[in-house]
Homo-oligomer: A and B are copies of this chain.
Amino acid sequence: MILHRIAIEPGSILTESKTGACLADALADAGYPVHLYCRRRGICGKCLIQIVEGDFGLPDADEAALLARRKAPAGSRLACRVTVTGPLTVLIPEASRPPSLAVVPEADWDGWRSVPLDPPLHKYSVRPDPPSLENPASDLDRLLASLPEAAWEPAPAALRGLAAVSRPGGAPFTLTAVVHDRRILAIEPGDTSGRQFGLAVDLGTTTVAAELVDLESGRTAASAAALNAQSRFGADVVSRITAARLDPAAAEGLRSAAWETVNGLLSRLLDQAGLPASAVYETVLAGNTAMTHLALGLSVASLTEAPFHPLVASLPPLPAGGTGSAAHPDGLVYFAPGIGSFVGGDISAGLAAADIESGPERILFVDLGTNGEIVLKNGDDLACTSTAAGPAFEGMSLSCGMIAGPGAVHAAHFAAGRLALDVIGGGAPMGICGSGIIDLLAMALEQGGLDASGAIRSAAGTIEAAPGLGLDRRDVREVQLAAAAVKTGMRRLLARAGLEAVDLDAVWVAGAFGSTLDVRHAVRLGLIPDVPPDRIRFLGNASLAGARLLLLSAAERDRCEALARRVRHVSLAGDAFQAAFVDSLAFSPWR
């Protein structure tokens, strides 16, 4: 085996790779991965690198065309298309690196459910009576007697803890019982009750966001977001569950990639807060049904075939040690309850956080992510459906799209007759994220650079945000298809309920969009119904807000479980969907 030296810039990192290896793999092995969102199909262009020294070979016609469209400098290649044959010096542009993401929080809103702190997980610091000849009761019994309630059932792991703190004949000792519901998960020596943390996770298809939550104060101690490492198996839900169904190794890869992402975030959060992993005894994950199944290593077969039913929807908290979680192994992992095969715990958690039950009579809730999930509240009735939007709304899969991280154009507007861009973190724009894409398209429609059919009217054939940064025909088409899918879903749900958009008291838009989504622009594109602006509310990451709520309140967890069972899951297949879809393709407001 011949090994070639690979130098990675910036940073002059040295690594080695064997002849015949894919450069993208060699870079990932060295700890410098590139984006691989189109699964090495060579169409997303996100793994673009420059070969500064060495033989960079010849791109094929498709790759050459893509490089030309991007006006890529000489020596540019897609790392997924380069085979290592000799020593190389490779420059990875910032835009090709998986970015460090900021958490999209929930939007500022007084409609969020606010409840008393009542976490299912609680630590009790106690000082049991010492054993004596008069009271030779077991250590466990004396511990139980010292607890404020009959939290009786010790988990097996708690027995180990008991052995560690038991001191025959010694002075009374303080210990802390970690209790969940009626179960003692662990017993820790000393008083550790001041350290009660939980992890709330929005397990998104594209983006995973997490918060370390102080269960005593209810405050968020740290937050972070990352791309879902499952992305290397496919950008959307359907491609991932198809991969998992066809290949057990892919299923296992998807399972471990989910935990790799969650654990990576946990580790960053713990570093920020200066805490060990053992401080986290409960994790609440809000993810769609496919994410939940994949993370649990459950068969997704039933999700890929009619009637598309899930294996599980609602689950009790599971022992963390049996999942892939790196939090305390004696702790628990709880998945927010799923509603149907394609409407999952992220939606039930979001609905709980936004308190849809206490909201006005008629609410259209839409979560614009890689899936577009839609819930219609019509009096006592709650119906939901989902549409496959793909990752366009999260900025992925578009030529210049990127996730809402540093360098992303997250808003565009006209200032003094000129296009002005807001870039996350300031600095030069490196790509355009979902909210920026909506802005650019809506403004192009208004300015005549784009027509309602999706045709680009400019001479260059692109909608430019900055030189070399814009949306081409394919990008527009991708957004158009995503928007049409969601629009069709909303229309069908309304039609089934005999409602018009004008009947809606509220339209709630959730999702991983940058928090700056301009809802007027979304209305202009027809992405959301054309109702009076004061009825439209952008919620931001409602799913993460919901995961936090379920971590902080046992009562809300019960309420969310009941809510998930109340929501009817409506399948749009065979429901005149196709015709409605074609009608929905136009970029135009609903009225």
- Contact surface of A with B, Cβ cutoff 8 Å: 131-133, 136-141, 152-154, 156, 159-160, 162-163, 166, 168-169, 296, 298-299, 301-302, 304-316, 318-319, 322, 338, 340-341, 569, 571, 573-574
Residues of B within 8 A of A131 (CB): 302, 307, 309
Question: How far is the CB of A339 from the nearest CB of chain B, in Å?
Answer: 10
Closest-by-CB residue of B relative to A183 is: B316
CA distance A152 to B309 in the complex (A): 19
Cβ-defined partner of A308 (8 Å) among B136, B338, B341: B136
Residues of B within 8 A of A310 (CB): 136, 138-139
- Top 7 A-B residue pairs of the complex, sorted by shortest distance between their CB atoms: A131-B309, A163-B299, A138-B313, A136-B309, A168-B302, A168-B305, A138-B310
CA distance A299 to B153 in the complex (A): 20
Question: With contacts A136-B341, A302-B139, A338-B138 known, is A156 near B319, CB below 8 A?
Answer: yes
**A312 close to B132 (CB less than 8 A):** no
Closest-by-CB residue of B relative to A311 is: B139
CA distance A319 to B153 in the complex (A): 13
Residues of B within 8 A of A301 (CB): 166, 168
Residues of B within 8 A of A314 (CB): 138, 140-141
Closest-by-CB residue of B relative to A141 is: B313
Cβ-defined partner of A312 (8 Å) among B162, B169, B312, B316: B162
**A133 close to B166 (CB less than 8 A):** no
Residues of B within 8 A of A153 (CB): 316
**A309 close to B163 (CB less than 8 A):** no
**B166 close to A322 (CB less than 8 A):** no
Residues of B within 8 A of A315 (CB): 140, 154, 159
**B309 close to A140 (CB less than 8 A):** no
CA distance A469 to B154 in the complex (A): 52
12 contacts between A and B (CB under 8 A): A131-B309, A133-B571, A133-B573, A136-B308, A138-B310, A138-B338, A139-B309, A139-B312, A154-B312, A159-B296, A168-B301, A168-B305
**B338 close to A307 (CB less than 8 A):** no
Closest-by-CB residue of B relative to A298 is: B163
Question: How far is the CB of A367 from the nearest CB of chain B, in Å?
Answer: 20
CA distance A318 to B305 in the complex (A): 38
**B305 close to A156 (CB less than 8 A):** no
Question: How far is the CB of A138 from the nearest CB of chain B, in Å?
Answer: 4
**A306 close to B156 (CB less than 8 A):** no
Question: With contacts A166-B302, A298-B163, A309-B131 known, is A322 near B139, CB below 8 A?
Answer: no
Residues of B within 8 A of A312 (CB): 138-140, 154, 159, 162
Cβ-defined partner of A299 (8 Å) among B166, B296, B305: B166
Question: How far is the CB of A172 from the nearest CB of chain B, in Å?
Answer: 13
- Listed residue (A138, A141, A338) with the most chain B CB atoms within 10 angstroms of its CB: A138
Closest-by-CB residue of B relative to A157 is: B322
CA distance A234 to B72 in the complex (A): 80
CA distance A567 to B317 in the complex (A): 36
**A309 close to B154 (CB less than 8 A):** no
Cβ-defined partner of A306 (8 Å) among B154, B169, B340: B169
CA distance A53 to B311 in the complex (A): 69
CA distance A141 to B159 in the complex (A): 33
Residues of B within 8 A of A306 (CB): 133, 168-169
Question: How far is the CB of A384 from the nearest CB of chain B, in Å?
Answer: 12
CA distance A306 to B131 in the complex (A): 9
Residues of B within 8 A of A322 (CB): 156
CA distance A304 to B168 in the complex (A): 9
**B307 close to A133 (CB less than 8 A):** yes
Closest-by-CB residue of B relative to A142 is: B309
CA distance A80 to B141 in the complex (A): 43
**A156 close to B311 (CB less than 8 A):** no
Question: How far is the CB of A248 from the nearest CB of chain B, in Å?
Answer: 12
